[in-house]
Amino acid sequence: MAGPRQNKDEEGDLPGARILIVEARYYEDIADALLAGATAALKRAGAAYDVITVPGALEIPGAVAIALDARAHGGRVYDGVVALGCVIRGDTLHFEIVSEQSARGLMDIAVHHALPLGNGILTVDTESQAWVRARADEGDKGGEAVRAALVMLRFKRRLAAERA
């Protein structure tokens, strides 16, 4: 029995695709590193993108919902979404609330709208852990989130083509 297939970047194979990146800027330098990895991956895939910023991870699902609502009323159409941000554990339960509710909100939207989504919201104990995951030459979680969204977009397009 063959093992699982590896999903690889397929450079330039998504012309005409438009991805919305929603990034939380609470940790600005980490957000910059995540965004650099994400945009590099989108450029390799040949996909266009727009970036909107929100204050923190809890605002990301709401921003995605607003963008989808605008699409339903004649606004820009996005083929997928990439969420970027960072939540670092502190001394209170706020970490659990933010990390769990942002992930839940994104999953609810992705499932309800059949929306290709890449979740690049880091949930870490320390800032040093965040940097290891955010830097493109180490963890590249921004690029990884893009690659996840693009795999789902390719899958969605393949199924649509099979129906046609």
Handedness of CA 33, 37, 7, 50 (dihedral sign): positive
How many CB atoms are closer than 10 A to CB 69?
A: 10
- How many other CB atoms sit within 10 Å of the CB of residue 21? 26
Per annotation, catalytic residue among 73, 94, 112, 113: 94
Q: What Å distances lie between residue 20 and 66, 72, 128, 145, CA to CA? A: 12, 15, 28, 12
Known active-site residue 94: yes
Cβ–Cβ under 8 Å, residues 116 and 156: yes
Residues with a catalytic annotation lie at: 94
